Amino acid sequence: MEDLLSLLPALIRGGLGNLAAYLAAHVLLCLLPAFCIAGAMAALIPKETITRFLGRQTPKAVSYPAAAAAGSVLAVCSCTIVPLFAGIYRKGAGLGPATTFLFFAPAANILALVYTGGIIGVDLAVARLLLSLTFAIGIGLIMALLFRADDSARDRATDALFSAQAAAGLSRGALAFLLVWIGLLLAGTLKVGLLTGSLWQFDLAWAGSADWQALLDRLVPYDASRGEEGVSLQGALLIGLLGGIGLSARLGLENIEAGANGWTRLCLALVALTLLVAALSVQAVPGGLRLGLGGKFLGVALALAVLTWLGSRHLTAEDRRAWLWESWRFVKQIFPLLVIGVFVVGMIRVVLRPEWIEMVAGSNTLLGNLAGVGFGVFMYFPTLVEVPIAKMFLDLGMHRGPLLAYLMSDPELSLQSILIITAIIGRTKTWTYVGLVALFSAAAGLTYGAWVDGAPPLLLVLGIGGAMAGLGLLLAAANRFSAKGV
């Protein structure tokens, strides 16, 4: 008991530090647009538009590849993809295709694959793509099979909920509004030279900047090997702005159906300001800060200007209120669980040591691959950060098989994303999904690791093909029995 009490302050500091670093670095250009996109999906897109490609009745040869293709362009992590998953699921996407989207987008988006190939090796990037695509579809098919009765009932419920909107159709203004939000998300998250470089720089004199940064470093330590990112002066400002958004949203969006007020306009202005500040390049220099304006800032600024024009000229007041309400509803449902999960993960990091995973993951065993999966869940890193961390593990002796298991599970699962998904689809479906992700990630690691150790590629392909063929036969049989009412 005394040991636990002595450890408690360190656990609390770890949780608060992890939360502060996460809010400063990842909520803004990822989650803020994601919540707005999810709200636009729920408020503006007719159910028929979603179900045409991702619905239960859509042919599987169309819906599952479409779900994977939709996720392939989004360089997002497990927390950012959840609001988008919630948006398409609420709007009528089948559980199977929605789950495929949820799995594939963080695991094998284009940017993650390119980054993996450049840092670790093309062979691992190809394995990550092929196995992620195969297993994303497999997980989706299994989820659709196991919960087909619930999915059917939910489909009928969304028919009643969105029938009037479906009849109205999707306007061009609403479609453009949604696409520009997606463009803003991509502009803020893609790590390409055009967006990350600075076109103009200027120095802001501030004699106390070094002292304040030193204080932040003491409060929130930086240790890349443990995923600790610290908090910069820019991050501290962003946390303050985020608090302002929360307060104004509470007062301006909770009763938005009755009309906008001054708090509503303040909330939108703070969202725009926060995104612009987050898009700046800020570097500490002697005597002040160096601010850089680059492609990311210009892209975000242009997107915000276009969104303002589209919202005022091409969306009705009813559409704007519906979008704001749905976005706020997703925030209330998801964000508190995200905060709790990030805080708990920070506490776990205090006692969990990376070397424990390295010790058991030096060979391509079932235990080693499960260790890679477990590390991905409890030592969650933001999107793309998992790649240099994986390179560090490789240099320290981790086998490439467990390394792939880690790379597939880390972007997929985290304690906070598990909590959020539970709020959306329920505990039973969530833990089934978690179990399938863990199982398939470990299977992917074992398969790739066996190839690295010299197993014949043809034998591995036949094994995966046989497993997927068996799954297909099982699904076909289940569909026939279901159609006969068995």
Query: If DSSP states are collapsed to H, E and C, what string results for 97-130?
Result: HHHHHHHHHHHHCHHHHHHHHHHCCHHHHHHHHH
Yes or no: say if 234 and 260 are a contact pair by the CB < 8 Å rule.
no
Task: Name the burial class of residue 220, with classes exposed (0-12), middle (13-18) and buried (19+) by CB atoms within 10 angstroms of its CB.
Answer: buried
Q: How does strand 222-223 pair with strand 288-294? A: unpaired
pLDDT of residue 479: 62
Q: What is the pLDDT of residues 403-458, one digit of tens each?
A: 888 888 877 777 778 888 898 888 999 999 998 888 888 888 888 888 888 888 77
N-term to C-term CA, the chain? 56
- Secondary structure letter of residue 285 according to DSSP: E
pLDDT of residue 310: 92
Using the CB atoms, write b or e for 119-141: b if 16+ within 10 Å: ebeeebbebbbbbbbbbbbbbbb
The secondary structure element, H or E, covering residue 18 is helix 2-25
Yes or no: say if 42 and 87 are a contact pair by the CB < 8 Å rule.
yes
Yes or no: say if 106 and 77 are a contact pair by the CB < 8 Å rule.
yes
Has this prediction a pTM greater than 0.85?
no
Taking 50 as the pLDDT cut, the residues of the chain under it are 160-167, 486
**Tokens 């704007």 — which residue?**
320
Structure tokens at 7: 């450890």
Residue 282 bridge partners (DSSP): 291
**Tokens 């789950």 — which residue?**
99
Yes or no: say if 348 and 331 are a contact pair by the CB < 8 Å rule.
no
pLDDT of residue 167: 45
Residue among 86, 105, 101 nearest 54 (CA):
101
Instruction: Give the other-Cβ count within 10 Å of 482's Cβ.
Output: 13
pLDDT of residue 308: 94
Structure tokens at 354: 């990376």
Tally of residues, the chain: 486
Residue among 352, 316, 108, 328 nearest 226 (CA):
352
pLDDT of residue 480: 66
Domain range summary for the chain, segments of one domain joined by +:
11-351, 354-483
**Tokens 């949604």 — which residue?**
178
pLDDT of residue 151: 74
Q: What is the pLDDT of residues 26-50, one digit of tens each?
A: 556 777 887 888 788 778 877 667 7
Q: What are the strands of the beta sheet with 198-205, ordered from one edge?
A: 198-205, 288-294, 281-285
What gap in Å lies between CA 466 and CA 94, rounded to an integer?
Answer: 26
Yes or no: say if 327 and 36 are a contact pair by the CB < 8 Å rule.
yes
- Secondary structure letter of residue 225 according to DSSP: G
Instruction: Give the other-Cβ count within 10 Å of 395's Cβ.
Output: 8
What sign has the CA pseudo-torsion 90, 93, 95, 99?
Answer: negative
What gap in Å lies between CA 354 and CA 357, rounded to an integer?
Answer: 5
Residue among 113, 100, 163 nearest 404 (CA):
113
**Tokens 């699921």 — which residue?**
89
Could you give the 3-state DSSP secondary structure of residue 196? Answer: helix
Using the CB atoms, write b or e for 169-203: b if 16+ within 10 Å: eeeebbbbbbebbbbbbbbbbbeeeebeebeeeee
Inter-CA distances, 106 with 53, 91, 197, 227, 446, Å: 20, 21, 24, 18, 20
